[in-house]
Structure 1
Amino acid sequence: MVAGRDHRDRATIQDETATGLAVSLGQWSEAGRKAQNQDFHGAIVPGRPAITTKGIAIALADGISSSSFGRIAAETAVKSFLSDYYCTSEAWSVRQSAAQVIAATNAWLHGETRRTARSSHDGGSDDRGHVTTFDALVLKGRTAHLFHIGDGRIARLSGHTAEPLTEDHRLTLSASETHLARALGMGPHVEIDHQALPIRQGDVFLLTTDGVHDYVSPAALCRLVRERGDDLDGAAKAIAAMALENGSTDNLTVQIVRIDRLPAADAAEWLEGGDLEPPAAMPEVGTIFDGWRIEGVLHVGPRSHVLSARDVETGKAAVLKFLASDLAGDPAARRAFLMEEWVAARLSSPHCLKPASRSRPPTARYAAMELLDGHTLRTVLDETPQLPLADVCRIVTGIANGLQAMHRKEMVHQDLRPENVMLGPDGHVTLIDFGAARVAGVAEARAFDADSRHPGALQFAAPEQLRGDVGRVRSDVFSLGVLAYHMLTGRLPYGAALARSRSARDQRRLAYQPAGSETVDVPDFVEGALRRAVAIEPARRYAEVAEFVHDLAHPNPAFVSPEAPPLALRNPVRFWQAVSAILAILVVILAALLAR
């Protein structure tokens, strides 16, 4: 960590690997003509894998000069961000993580402002406020994330000038009077400006307080940085000196960040176990592999081999999952395989599969998961293709609980199907197989391109995923709706046509086939809930799986019509059969009349 209010030696911060992110950092801060420096700045870089999952963070704050608590507010804002940001979930996106931390800091500062105001004899005044501007730059993968509140500034060198990337939050009252329009601690809630920009090797970013950029032109900023080359600390000090010479009466803080190296597109896997290779041969029943006694074969498929095992030291049972030998050299398959255990370890829900506890680090690439008692939903449907509505609602509720746990972590399952749902002897529902999951935080960290193939089963995939788009929460809503429909009817809401479609135009032509039929009695409100959940357009679906589950079990007045819908809507097949029969009769009658 590089942090403080005063000058620090230039730091070169980089990933531990020769292919990771590397930056150079220069900083300078001084009180200037003021008695006290109320600015605070800092930077932090974690070790692996956090440098990849969370990135490098640089922060700058400027406490308001009218308050005796300005310095405390600035220091609190920077230190809280640099420490708490790295405590947020690795699955969260940079924006989600930073927003949560900044909002919590703002709430604390505002609370302190109110507390000190109540304790002051004069009922509170400007010199009691815990208020500060705040700017942060997070470098993750090949993207720079900017967070801005107040009149600090983040700029990027471009040609012969420093291009401002943020807009000052100032309220201009007159030519000589301006006030902060937005700052941390100013109110119970704060609006944060956020940008995500692609970065290139050699890019240079500058973070400055208003005591600097109000007195040094963008062209001069750029020139001073270029002139000093690798001496970024010297450049920061020279910029502060020029601001002082040009009449600045405020505190002076400058941070300079140069991108020396970006993660390589073919960088090695950074997930735990990414440097390991699959075993040379698949373990056999009765043998001991990596401290596990192999007890049985649970599944053998084209993508994986699943074995039951028991830890020889602890006696705990587990499921070991191995990548099929034909896919050992497939980067996409290897990444998906690593995600299985990584995702499971970050979920805390009784409806999500958990990783097995390991008593020793692995020596080969495989996943160790808890052993569940029961059967997959596919096994149940093979025996009973159409389940009662009460059973469907119960199973859908369990699946939805697991999906909600994922969605709260900014994860999308993307492969919801009967094979990935386990039903225990007591009916307990567990969501399994997270290899295809899309995790916001991981997606940001990846230097490689997204896989072009769809990760899940085509029959249950959302239309946008079939078109090559990434999965969203509404995509999981669609898959859950299809699964509910399939459990009730044994069919698919669009037949096999949706799985063959690859364009939005083709998908819009598809017609929803009502779940109700001669053999399946489906209440109107259930039909309405299913129809909405599996809408082709994502915007027409439920926004959350919980909304779908509620409407599935509680009649929604919007789906219950006082009069029965026409036959064409209730059963299009029967409607057209009737129309065809009538037309055939008319043809026979007309033919007889013509014959006479």
Structure 2
Amino acid sequence: MEKLQLGFGGFSCKGVKEENQDAFAAYLPKDHYADVKGGVAALADGVSVCARGREAAITCVTNFIQDYYQTPPTWTVKRAAGKVLHGLNRWCHGQHDYEHGGHSQMITTFSGMIFKSTSGFIFHAGDSRITRFQGGELEQLTKDHVSRQGGKNVLTRAMGIEAHLDVDLTNVELQQKDLFVFTSDGVHEFLSNKTIKQLLTAAGSLEERAKNIVDEALRLGSNDNLTCLLVEVQNLPLADLDEHSKQINRLAIPPALEVGMKLEGYRIIQTVFNGTRSSLYKVVNDEDGKVFGLKTPSQNFADDPVFLAGFLREEWVGQHIKNSNVMGIYKRKEDARFMYHICEYIDGQTLRQWMLDNPEPSLEQVRKIITQLITALRVLQRKDMVHRDVKPENVMITHQGEVKLIDFGTVLVKALAETNSLPVEKVVVGAVHYIAPEYLIKHTSSHQSDMFSVATVIYEMLTGSLPFKAFKYQDYIPVSYSEWMYQPLNKYRTDLPPWLDLTLRKALQPNPELRYQSYSEFLQDLSQPNKGMLRAVAKRPLLERDPLLFYKALCVGQFVLICMLLAFQ
């Protein structure tokens, strides 16, 4: 199996100074984290005028690597590294020393790079550098954040200077044999590109070449600390397949199963449903007698790699989400020969069935269910995931009233998407009546897309109808947000409060920029009237607030006017 392989070599010295305030480190895990999180390299150059510059450099380099690997594997590189860097920056900025002017005494440049799949992610602040040596040419990938003052370079950006960190983020596509050169300014300020290229192509290990670069800069008069770190891309994984989609060729799709049959130690005790896409069975594990759900893909999709990759990814998603409102999925046996999920068995009914049984529920009944559903979706949001198929059929309600979100086959895992590790989706996924407009039009999704779907479900729970007028014809894909024509709640139920219509109207805005920005905001307005929205509506002209009432009033006025004219004739 092709895996990411990196080579490291570095050297650092204090040069003519009394203390070395540079720091560097690099790491590539040997376990599955190499696939999930990738490798990391970082260099920092502590600011010499600060009493704790060396401590700042060492802290930022070591903690960046350690803390990055502690972030959830579902997070994107941008989110994970960004969280770590902003936390480190706050720590450095807070180390004031009033004996030295009251400013932070922990300031350092930072240049870090995460190598994940076939992509490189660069995070940079300051004047240390990352340069790529590819095809015999050097390309500087970072920008020096300095200004020239009095003949000297003064840092305009670095870790610890300000409470808010402004960090450059750059993405690069990796190629085999790429060589990334990390240097502090004590090196690159004294060496030409021609000299660096000559030293990089000379014989010797990466560590020897890094030392030669430092030594040459020192020989040419460097008056600063000197550090050079080299990272070589020795092997790249396949860019077009994630780990789960690679199993497609290895695992067989099980045949249709019947009560009494066994599949790798699980005995079928009930067929829950047989659908066109998948089947679900209630099973018992013969080893411990525990009851589970067993889900298998349909033979109809045996030649559909996108569907099968999604089916296998569903298992991975379910294992990384631990919440009582999300259906649990458990790991298959290592030697499994068939494609299936072992999941939590949910004894209850779908939300669709609940809606049929409760055609005109109270707002309190709806809130009780939706609050739990949003709890589940907030867990996905924190994991950098978007469900993309929230609908009544994918929500289960147990006999005890507990809500469970199910079916993760369409979940967008941003950590996989950022490295192009997902199969290309040629058609949109999810149920068209619940899909957010931005996904249909722009193929983009966020937690606000799931919020739109939730609001659609709420509207349907309350009214039995969908919130928008039907499109021109079935399966029509609109080209503009203006084609979604919202229908007020009072068209179907006059007993519901007007402020609820305002809440749903906002959550169902076709343009995501006009929707609620957070689930907590949405839940708040589902619980009580938003006075700000009510005041805004009251200030609008009657024609905008209630066109029907406006035209009724206009007709009455015209009738009165006509009567008055007739009376004077």
Sort the Cα spacing of 1:247 and 1:274 in 2 relative to 1 into closer, same or farther, 3 A. farther
Match of 1:60 in 2: 43
Match of 1:533 in 2: 507
Q: Contact between 2:257 and 2:268, CA under 8 Å: does it hold in 1? A: yes
How big is the shift at 1:35? 4.0
Q: Contact between 1:202 and 1:258, CA under 8 Å: does it hold in 2? A: yes
How big is the shift at 1:349? 2.6
Match of 2:561 in 1: none
Unmatched runs of 5 consecutive residues or more in structure 1: 1-16, 583-596
Q: Does 1:228 align with 2:202?
A: yes
Instruction: Provide the rounded CA distance (Å) in 1 between the counterparts of 2:162 and 2:259.
Output: 64
Amino acid at match of 1:298: V
Q: Secondary structure at the match of 2:427?
A: coil
Q: Does 1:213 align with 2:161?
A: no
Q: Contact between 2:12 and 2:227, CA under 8 Å: does it hold in 1? A: yes
Match of 1:555 in 2: 529
Bigger mean CA deviation after superposition, 58-67 or 561-570: 561-570
Sort the Cα spacing of 1:135 and 1:265 in 2 relative to 1 into closer, same or farther, 3 A. closer
Instruction: Provide the rounded CA distance (Å) in 2 between the counterparts of 1:492 and 1:245.
Output: 75
Sort the Cα spacing of 1:271 and 1:83 in 2 relative to 1 into closer, same or farther, 3 A. farther
Aligned counterpart in structure 2 of residue 99 of structure 1, from 82, 89, 95: 82
Amino acid at match of 1:137: M
Q: Contact between 2:11 and 2:228, CA under 8 Å: does it hold in 1? A: yes
Sort the Cα spacing of 1:572 and 1:441 in 2 relative to 1 into closer, same or farther, 3 A. farther
Q: Does 1:281 align with 2:264?
A: no
Bigger mean CA deviation after superposition, 326-335 or 444-453: 444-453
Q: Secondary structure at the match of 2:444?
A: coil
Aligned counterpart in structure 2 of residue 257 of structure 1, from 216, 221, 231: 231
Amino acid at match of 1:224: L
Q: Does 1:22 align with 2:5?
A: yes
Bigger mean CA deviation after superposition, 46-55 or 264-273: 264-273
Q: Contact between 1:155 and 1:207, CA under 8 Å: does it hold in 2? A: yes
Q: Secondary structure at the match of 1:285?
A: coil
Amino acid at match of 1:521: D
Unmatched runs of 5 consecutive residues or more in structure 2: 559-569
Aligned counterpart in structure 1 of residue 394 of structure 2, from 420, 439, 454: 420
Question: Per-residue displacement from partner, 1:267-304 (whole Å, max 9, x unpaired)?
Answer: 46357966751354344322332222221111111111
Match of 1:146 in 2: 122
How big is the shift at 1:68? 5.8
Structure 2 matches for 1:25-174, cutoff 5 A? 25-67=8-50, 69-111=52-94, 113-114=95-96, 117=97, 123-124=99-100, 129-157=105-133, 162-174=138-150
Match of 1:322 in 2: 296
Structure 2 matches for 1:434-453, cutoff 5 A? 434-453=408-427
Instruction: Provide the rounded CA distance (Å) in 2 between the counterparts of 1:109 and 1:567.
Output: 57
Q: Does 1:466 align with 2:454?
A: no
Bigger mean CA deviation after superposition, 262-271 or 47-56: 262-271
Bigger mean CA deviation after superposition, 267-276 or 565-574: 565-574
Instruction: Provide the rounded CA distance (Å) in 2 between the counterparts of 1:563 and 1:76.
Output: 56
Question: Per-residue displacement from partner, 1:86-118 (whole Å, max 9, x unpaired)?
Answer: 11101101011112222333344445x34xx48
Question: Per-residue displacement from partner, 1:222-263 (whole Å, max 9, x unpaired)?
Answer: 3432x3378543432332222112210122211223334433
How big is the shift at 1:218? 3.1
Amino acid at match of 1:552: L
Instruction: Provide the rounded CA distance (Å) in 2 between the counterparts of 1:30 and 1:207.
Output: 14
Match of 1:198 in 2: 173
Sort the Cα spacing of 1:50 and 1:520 in 2 relative to 1 into closer, same or farther, 3 A. farther
How big is the shift at 1:363? 4.4
Q: Secondary structure at the match of 2:170?
A: strand
Question: Per-residue displacement from partner, 1:6-25 (whole Å, max 9, x unpaired)?
Answer: xxxxxxxxxxx23x333443
Amino acid at match of 1:465: Y
Q: Contact between 1:68 and 1:127, CA under 8 Å: does it hold in 2? A: no
Sort the Cα spacing of 1:181 and 1:444 in 2 relative to 1 into closer, same or farther, 3 A. same
Question: Per-residue displacement from partner, 1:163-205 (whole Å, max 9, x unpaired)?
Answer: 3222223344311x34333333445543322222333344332
Q: Contact between 2:244 and 2:312, CA under 8 Å: does it hold in 1? A: no
Q: Does 1:411 align with 2:385?
A: yes
How big is the shift at 1:573? 13
RMSD across aligned C-alpha pairs, in angstroms? 3.2
How big is the shift at 1:562? 4.7
Q: Contact between 1:67 and 1:126, CA under 8 Å: does it hold in 2? A: no
Sort the Cα spacing of 1:501 and 1:231 in 2 relative to 1 into closer, same or farther, 3 A. farther
Sort the Cα spacing of 1:216 and 1:569 in 2 relative to 1 into closer, same or farther, 3 A. same
Sort the Cα spacing of 1:369 and 1:77 in 2 relative to 1 into closer, same or farther, 3 A. same
Question: Per-residue displacement from partner, 1:445-470 (whole Å, max 9, x unpaired)?
Answer: 44354312212111100112123513
Sort the Cα spacing of 1:530 and 1:125 in 2 relative to 1 into closer, same or farther, 3 A. closer
Q: Secondary structure at the match of 2:433?
A: helix
Q: Contact between 2:248 and 2:305, CA under 8 Å: does it hold in 1? A: no
Q: Contact between 2:186 and 2:225, CA under 8 Å: does it hold in 1? A: yes
Q: Secondary structure at the match of 1:371?
A: coil
How many residue pairs get aligned? The number is 552
Match of 2:459 in 1: 485
How big is the shift at 1:488? 1.3
Amino acid at match of 2:131: A
How big is the shift at 1:376? 0.6
Bigger mean CA deviation after superposition, 266-275 or 463-472: 266-275
Sort the Cα spacing of 1:47 and 1:453 in 2 relative to 1 into closer, same or farther, 3 A. farther
Q: Secondary structure at the match of 2:276?
A: coil
How big is the shift at 1:319? 0.8
Sort the Cα spacing of 1:214 and 1:127 in 2 relative to 1 into closer, same or farther, 3 A. farther
Question: Per-residue displacement from partner, 1:413-442 (whole Å, max 9, x unpaired)?
Answer: 100000011112232222111111111112
Q: Secondary structure at the match of 2:490?
A: coil
Question: Per-residue displacement from partner, 1:382-429 (whole Å, max 9, x unpaired)?
Answer: 334443322222222221111111111111110000001111223222
Instruction: Provide the rounded CA distance (Å) in 2 between the counterparts of 1:313 and 1:46.
Output: 35
- Aligned-pair identity (%): 33
Sort the Cα spacing of 1:195 and 1:266 in 2 relative to 1 into closer, same or farther, 3 A. closer
How big is the shift at 1:64? 2.8
Q: Does 1:240 align with 2:223?
A: no
Instruction: Provide the rounded CA distance (Å) in 2 between the counterparts of 1:148 and 1:190.
Output: 10
Amino acid at match of 1:155: T
Match of 1:588 in 2: none
Sort the Cα spacing of 1:134 and 1:188 in 2 relative to 1 into closer, same or farther, 3 A. same
TM, length-normalised to structure 1: 0.84
Q: Contact between 1:49 and 1:270, CA under 8 Å: does it hold in 2? A: no
Q: Secondary structure at the match of 2:35?
A: helix
How big is the shift at 1:568? 8.5
Q: Contact between 1:53 and 1:445, CA under 8 Å: does it hold in 2? A: no
TM, length-normalised to structure 2: 0.87
Instruction: Provide the rounded CA distance (Å) in 1 between the counterparts of 2:463 and 2:370.
Output: 15
